[in-house]
Amino acid sequence: MTEPTRTRRSATASWGSSRLFANVLTYAFLIAGGLLMLGPFVFSVMTSLKTPKQFNTSWPLTPPAPVTGENFAALFSEQYNFVVPIAVTAQVVLVLVVGQMLTSILAAYAFAQLQFPGRDTLFWVYLSTLMIPAVVTVIPLYSMMTSLGLKNSFAGLVVPFLFGSPYAIFLLRENFRSTPSDVLDAAKIDGAGVLRRLWQVMVPMNKPILATLLLITVVSQWNNFMWPLIIAPAPEWNVITVATAALQTQYNGNWTLVMAATTIALAPLVILFLVFQKQITSSLGVTGVR
Amino acid sequence: MNARQRHEARSAYAMLLPSLIGVIGFLLLPVLIVLALSFMRWNLISPPEWIGLENYAYILTWPRFGNSLLVTGLFVLMAIPASIAIGLLLAIAINRGLPGTSWLRVLYVLPWVCAPLALGVVWKWIFDPTNGALNAILGRRIEWLTDPDLALPAVVFVQIWSTVGYISLFFLAGLQQIPRAVYEAAMLDGAGSVRTLVSITLPLLRPTMFFVTVTSVISSFQVFDSIYAMTGGGPAFRTDVIAARIYDEAFVGLRLGRAAAMAVVLFVVLVGVTLVQQRYFQRRITYDMS
């Protein structure tokens, strides 16, 4: 028994010095990566806090001195009117989050807990729609919405995505299926109907996954660009991403103003992410797609 | 079927109704419409006119469509291997569990929650030849986004930058599922760190690798927002990815039939790529980790 122990100890000793080297390398790699990730955010916010004159006359990466809010003030002034895109985006996100969560919860519960003819076929159809790329549906959705007279309208922005997402349904179904059935059975014996069992038992028991799904929906809707660009190009219906793109094209080179716009577009989600980062990162392994 | 079962089935269908509107009306119907439009000539003004296979005959011999397929292919081939390799390295580095490194992963994931459009605008400023951050650091004037040879690598870099953190989370979750005992056994057998990576870590990460590759390939094939912000497809169509070409044909050139045909081709290509990847990963040996 002594022989293997000795070999093991000497292996650990040589491993020790290479381990120190590996640790130094790991720190260097992770910190360099972190700086590279953070840099664009820091520099763009710094630029948004400079006057155009300060920006043009000094090295691009010097901190703003003095800090000015004039770019943000300009964006909220009558000329650029960024209040409108923020309000439109907030409403779109709110309506779509409520709509998608409600429809997805209902459908996921039916697939997970109820018996009905055609359940497996129907679920297979839902799953197969996950393969349909957004770029493919954009043209037909545009033709459908315009023929309904919904171009440049709130309805045009939200209607195609209001009725749940197959991905959310798939994700929730998996979680609803693994919910212990004895609690549900107890509620059933107590005479609770399908909806009461869903809202008073299933939903409270699956809060973490529902919270994650809520965050993912907020993120993807706030960031959405291609569909709003196509269906609502009129300024009064611009969402924040479309307004930022328009500002960038129109005032090309006016970087202090444009960086103020990107700061407004990015800040809410960066804050949301930092507050809920544990919730988001720890659940990603389970959830998969955005 | 007794009365109770009938009642349950009725509630199930009622609960599925909203999501069925979504799946049929806004996913399956659009696929049929895009297919129909691909056989038509339509400029949004005069009514669509049936022209058979003319759109397909046109795009399949059209150098600009070939160019878009090539650009998209190059984009995917440059971005995916790099972001998977770096994402894996990041995951391995974080997984070593050195003090003070676990919060860094929050930084790496930050770009993932941000609007690709807004990040694209930020990077357009960073790459700006006169006032941009990058040339300020380098002290040289390089036309990152307007030089035909640099534009594609530049937008690929931004894609890698914004996806590595997200990818690393999946690898991290995969790494944490590998039992410690496997590594201890390898160490006792005298396997070095490279050998351990190649013979143990990578094979055991195969399921994660499959998932990450498939989802990244599918999303990279559809990249649009960041390219729209940074180059708009230029210079000289060098970054004219397929989604940008479809958008331009449909909503700038108002040739919706031709754009629909390109969308159908993209759909077919994506389904094909997914199937090929599935076969590739299935053919290799899979390990049971339970």
Q: Which amino acid, residue A56?
A: N
* Pair A45, A127 in one domain: no
CA distance A92 to A110: 27
Give yes or no for a contact between B5 and A111, defined as CB atoms under 8 angstroms apart. Answer: no
Residue of B nearest to A198 (CA): B15
Look at residue B70 and give its three-state secondary structure: helix
Q: Using one digit for the tens of pLDDT, what is the confidence trace for B276-287?
A: 887 877 765 455
* Pair A33, A171 in one domain: no
What CATH number is associated with residue A136? 1.10.3720.10
CA distance B37 to B39: 5
Which of the listed residues A72, A104, A121 is the one where a domain comes to its end? A72
Residue of B nearest to A60 (CA): B133
Q: What's the domain range around B243?
A: 56-283
More confident residue, B256 or B173: B256
Which of the listed residues A72, A105, A128 is the one where a domain comes to its end? A72
How high is the pLDDT of residue A14? Answer: 57
C-beta contacts of A9-16 below 8 A and 24+ residues apart: A11/B187, A11/B190, A15/B187
How high is the pLDDT of residue A7? Answer: 46
The ranges of chain A with pLDDT < 70 are 1-16, 281-290
In sequence order, what DSSP letters do the residues of A85-138 get, joined into one string?
Answer: HHHHHHHHHHHHHHHHHHHHHHHHHHHHH---TTHHHHHHHHHHGGGS-HHHHH
Domain count, chain B: 1
Q: Which of A191-195, A257-261, B26-30, B230-234 has the lowest average pLDDT?
A: A191-195
Asked if B113 lies within 8 A of A280 by C-beta distance, the reply is yes
The answer on pLDDT for B246 being more than 70 is: yes
* Pair A56, A130 in one domain: no
Asked if A140 lies within 8 A of B34 by C-beta distance, the reply is yes
Give yes or no for a contact between B221 and A131, defined as CB atoms under 8 angstroms apart. Answer: no
Q: Which amino acid, residue A17?
A: S
Give yes or no for a contact between A82 and A75, defined as CB atoms under 8 angstroms apart. Answer: yes
Residues 147-206 of A with CB under 8 A from B: 159-166, 169, 193-195
* Pair A25, A103 in one domain: no
CA distance B81 to B87: 10
More confident residue, B56 or B103: B56
Residues in chain B within 8 Å Cβ distance of A273: 106, 109-110, 113
How high is the pLDDT of residue A3? Answer: 43
- Which residues make Cβ contacts (< 8 Å) with residue B13, sequence separation at least 6? A110, A116
Question: In angstroms, what separates the C-alpha of B284 from chain A's closest C-alpha?
Answer: 23
More confident residue, A286 or B203: B203
Which of the listed residues A52, A72, A92 is the one where a domain comes to its end? A72
Cα angle at B89 between B85 and B93, to 5 degrees? 170
Residue A69's nearest CA partner among A89, A45, A42 is A45
Identify which of A33, A56, A270 has the shortest CB distance to residue B114: A270
Residue A266's nearest CA partner among A68, A42, A30 is A42
* Pair A97, A228 in one domain: yes
Q: What is the pTM of this model?
A: 0.90
CA distance B274 to B216: 11
**Cα–chain-centroid distance for residue A234?**
25
The answer on pLDDT for B19 being more than 90 is: yes
The H or E element containing residue A9 is: helix A2-48
How high is the pLDDT of residue B206? Answer: 87
Q: What's the domain range around A242?
A: 81-287
Give yes or no for a contact between A85 and A243, defined as CB atoms under 8 angstroms apart. Answer: yes
* Pair A150, A245 in one domain: yes
Asked if B121 lies within 8 A of A245 by C-beta distance, the reply is yes
Q: Say what the alpha-carbon torsion angle B20, B25, B27, B28 is, to the nearest 10 degrees.
A: 90
* Pair A191, A95 in one domain: yes
Q: Is residue B289 part of a domain?
A: no
Domain count, chain A: 2
Q: Is residue B288 part of a domain?
A: no
What CATH number is associated with residue B275? 1.10.3720.10
**Cα–chain-centroid distance for residue A72?**
24
Q: How far apart are the first and last CA of chain B?
A: 40
* Pair A95, A196 in one domain: yes
How high is the pLDDT of residue A282? Answer: 64
Q: Is residue B217 part of a domain?
A: yes
* Pair A55, A185 in one domain: no
* Pair A247, A103 in one domain: yes
Question: In angstroms, what separates the C-alpha of A103 from chain B's closest C-alpha?
Answer: 6
Asked if B260 lies within 8 A of A116 by C-beta distance, the reply is no
The answer on pLDDT for B253 being more than 80 is: yes
Mean pLDDT taken over chain B? 91
Look at residue A191 and give its three-state secondary structure: coil
Question: In angstroms, what separates the C-alpha of A259 from chain B's closest C-alpha?
Answer: 7
From residue B206, how far is each of B198, B281, B285, B289 by CA, in Å? 12, 8, 9, 11
How high is the pLDDT of residue A126? Answer: 93
Q: Using one digit for the tens of pLDDT, what is the confidence trace for B146-194?
A: 999 999 999 999 999 999 998 998 999 889 888 888 888 888 888 887 8
CA distance B215 to A167: 13
C-beta contacts of B187-193 below 8 A and 24+ residues apart: B187/A11, B187/A15, B188/A8, B190/A11, B193/A22
Give yes or no for a contact between A231 and A142, defined as CB atoms under 8 angstroms apart. Answer: yes
- What's the complex ipTM? 0.91
* Pair A100, A186 in one domain: yes
Look at residue A21 and give its three-state secondary structure: helix
* Pair A197, A179 in one domain: yes
Asked if B117 lies within 8 A of A133 by C-beta distance, the reply is no
How high is the pLDDT of residue A290? Answer: 35
Q: Using one digit for the tens of pLDDT, what is the confidence trace for A199-258?
A: 888 888 888 889 888 988 999 999 999 999 999 999 999 999 999 999 999 887 899 999
How high is the pLDDT of residue A13? Answer: 52
Q: What are phi and psi of B50, to 5 degrees?
A: -70, 125
